[in-house]
Amino acid sequence: MKSAVALAALLCLFPHGAYADGRLNFRVDFNRTQVPGIHDDVGFSWGGVEVEVEKAFAKPKIVLSGFSLGLRRELFPAFTSFGQDRGVHRWDEGTYLMLRLYRRFDVTGDRSWSIGPSIALLYGVPGTTLDRTTGSTRSDGGFDYTHVFPMRNADVPKGLADTADIGTDSALFYPEVSLSIRKTLARGGISLEWLGGVRMIRFGIVDSGSQGAVFSERRMYIPSGGMRVGFRIF
Amino acid sequence: MGKPHDSSTMANKCLLILGASVLLYAGCQRRAPAAPSPVQEAGVVPDTNAWAPCVVVQSPGGVPFGTQMAAVQKLQRAGKMTWIRLNTRLDGAGREYHLEARRMGLKIFSIIALADLEQAGWEAAFDRLYATYPSDIWEIAGEISNADPNVNPATVTPDYYMAKFRDLYNYVKTRYPGVTLTSAPTYGTGNGGAAELEQFFKLGLLDMDVVVAMNVYSHPALSSYATVIDRYAARLAGKRIWVTETGSSNPENHIAWVQEFYPRLVNTLHPEMICWYALWGGTGPGGDNGFGLLDLVESGRPIERPLFKALAGES
């Protein structure tokens, strides 16, 4: 995380003249995985939306064509306390800050089509969005289950955690690598991107049953597919 | 000359694909309409598959007794009630609920009030209540940090509670080897429950062969519990976890609470059982019958709320 912040700070020090353009991008994506347990596999899928501000360099810097900073939400409607209201979207469930670094290669002479890899670093609060359990009740009333959960590996600033009523150690930091194909329209004013990527999240897995219990950890490579649309804003 | 035309065609295709993608995404994210669907209006019973067969029943006795137990029997016959959570008191009040529940073949989850434990001494209180009330599981105190005087005359700290609970656990294991105890449920509103739960764990709760109890009334509480439950996941494997109280104070959200919140409870806490609070919340001070599956029980002519009807198989 520290290295990502340092890299972002360095990028921000480049003179403005180096920027080719800046865009406001919106992304939607779908993610699906199957986490293998000893007794059962636990599968789940989820969607997310992102808003990001992208800055592209006039010429690649080191190996980068540009970078973006954004906010990711994995939609999670919930209840207020005591269920007085429902359908309330909670910011502290599935909300991430995102830094994305990318390289882009033009594939057509007019530069309207391009292809490029990117790596994004996400930091945020998964809440309960990535906790899953499958199980069954035994005849003796006991509960056999396989529980998978993200290994939360980062802290939330105390002031923010106190404000939001969440624990300080409830954050998740993970990378995503992706490859996208971009088409620009309206003289570059609008861009459309089709993208496929892989999120790398470490999960904890608990298999608990009458035969005993087993705990393990596994880094999951989670396929993600989606689309990004962008508008040049500067 | 062909280029502008090609570019325009390509742009149109792209926009079509974009539009289709957005519509598909919106369609996938679309939630059930708030208004009753035509199917519901036609009298189809709402889905309550996520329900767990445990309900908290207050025990004031008198007119409500017969009404409450008739409702309990209705849920039991519908296969929606296996466990009943009942109060106990040193003066023996409400014993008729235990006896009737036992006669009906229900499993009984009894809660011993902190005030009674403190008044008689923890071991002595347990001896007296064990001799008075039939029960399958004993919950040792309610929410110890709940300052509501209707729940506790005084609160106690996790350190104090765990010291007393450990002594009682050792006493019960020696004197009543077959008895199952449950720890005090953590106070599941705001962020307090998770901190309290972790404190219990640090003070040795996971070293005991007991049921770990939690009350969960809000998403912040559930989200905070998740961080503790997941942090202690390896040590919790094989432990019994019960959500001893959950529910919505808005009767219009009862069914949604079961459909949407119960699955999240299972996914996050993997509880063996979830108990709905409550069949009827009463009418006295502190009574909050927004949670009640029934209303106007004291009148002897109760009103069945939508979740009760759905559980009982009525449209």
pLDDT tens column, B67-83: 999 999 999 999 999 99
Least-confidence region, from A105-119, A193-207, B20-34, B291-305: B20-34
Q: Band of the pLDDT at A96, cuts 50, 70, 90?
A: very high
Cα A151 from Cα B264, distance rounded (Å):
18
Question: Residue A199 above 50 pLDDT?
Answer: yes
Strand ranges (DSSP E) for chain B?
54-56, 83-88, 107-112, 137-140, 180-182, 211-215, 240-246, 273-276, 294-295, 303-304
Token digits of residue B237: 């494997």
* A76, closest residue in chain B (CA to CA): B29
pLDDT tens column, B91-138: 999 999 999 999 999 999 999 999 999 999 999 999 999 999 999 999
Q: Is pLDDT larger for residue B32 or for residue A89?
A: A89
DSSP B186: B
pLDDT of residue A4: 52
The ipTM assigned to this model is 0.86
Strand ranges (DSSP E) for chain A?
19-36, 41-61, 64-73, 77-79, 86-89, 95-102, 105-106, 113-125, 132-137, 143-150, 172-185, 190-209, 212-232
Please name the residues between 42 and 101 in chain A that touch chain B, using a CB distance below 8 Å.
47, 75, 77-87, 90, 92-93
Question: Residue B30 above 70 pLDDT?
Answer: no
pLDDT of residue A165: 72
pLDDT tens column, B199-243: 999 999 999 999 999 999 998 899 889 999 999 999 999 899 999
Partner A contacted by B191 (CB < 8 A): yes
Q: How far is B199 from chain A (nearest CA, A)?
A: 14
Note whether B220 contacts A81, CB cutoff 8 Å. Answer: yes
pLDDT of residue B12: 54
Locus of tokens 């020090």? A13
Across the range A171-181, mean pLDDT stands at 98
Question: Residue B148 above 90 pLDDT?
Answer: no
HEC per residue, B32-100: CCCCCCHHHHCCCCCCCCCCCCEEECCCCCCHHHHHHHHHHHHHHHCCCCCEEEEEECCCCCCHHHHHH
Q: Is pLDDT larger for residue B66 or for residue A60?
A: B66
pLDDT of residue B113: 96
Residue-averaged pLDDT of chain B: 88
Note whether A128 contacts B25, CB cutoff 8 Å. Answer: no
Tell me which chain B residues have a C-beta less than 8 angstroms from the C-beta of A133.
266-268, 270
Q: Band of the pLDDT at B151, cuts 50, 70, 90?
A: confident
Cα A37 from Cα A135, distance rounded (Å):
12
* B107, closest residue in chain A (CA to CA): A141
Q: How far is CA B28 from the centre of its chain?
A: 30
Across the range B242-250, mean pLDDT stands at 96
Q: Band of the pLDDT at B288, cuts 50, 70, 90?
A: confident
Partner B contacted by A40 (CB < 8 A): no
> Is the torsion defined by CA of B126, B132, B137, B140 positive or negative?
negative
**Is B150 within 8 Å of B191 (Cβ atoms)?**
no
Question: Residue A13 above 60 pLDDT?
Answer: no
Cα dist from A84 to A79, A126, A129, whole Å: 7, 24, 21
Cα A182 from Cα B222, distance rounded (Å):
41
Query: Helix, strand or coil for residue B172?
Result: helix
Q: Is pLDDT larger for residue B122 or for residue B147?
A: B122
Q: Band of the pLDDT at B286, cuts 50, 70, 90?
A: low
Percent of chain A with pLDDT over 70: 91
Least-confidence region, from A66-75, A147-156, B78-87, B184-193: B184-193
Question: Residue A149 above 70 pLDDT?
Answer: yes
Question: Residue B10 above 70 pLDDT?
Answer: no
**Closest Cβ opposite residue A165 in set B17, B220, B270:** B220
pLDDT tens column, A217-233: 999 999 999 999 999 99
B16, B23, B227, best to mutate vs chain A, most A CBs in 10 Å: B227
Token digits of residue A16: 């403005």
**Closest Cβ opposite residue B190 in set A77, A165, A204:** A165
- Torsion over CA of B217, B223, B227 and B229, rounded to 10 degrees? 40
pLDDT of residue A2: 53
Q: Is pLDDT larger for residue B188 or for residue B81?
A: B81
Tell me which chain A residues have a C-beta less than 8 angstroms from the C-beta of B222.
128
- What pTM value is reported for the model? 0.87
Least-confidence region, from A59-68, A70-79, B67-76, B187-196: B187-196
Tell me which chain A residues have a C-beta less than 8 angstroms from the C-beta of B238.
208, 212-213
pLDDT of residue A44: 87
Across the range A166-186, mean pLDDT stands at 94
pLDDT of residue B149: 86
Q: Band of the pLDDT at B17, cuts 50, 70, 90?
A: low
Partner A contacted by B52 (CB < 8 A): no
Note whether A79 contacts B248, CB cutoff 8 Å. Answer: yes
* Nearest alpha carbon to residue B267 among A186, A170, A153, A43: A43
Tell me which chain B residues have a C-beta less than 8 angstroms from the C-beta of A112.
7
pLDDT tens column, B35-49: 444 444 556 889 999
Please name the residues between 220 and 279 in chain B that touch chain A, using a CB distance below 8 Å.
220, 222-224, 226-228, 230-231, 233-234, 236-238, 240, 247-250, 253-254, 256-257, 260-261, 264, 266-268, 270-272
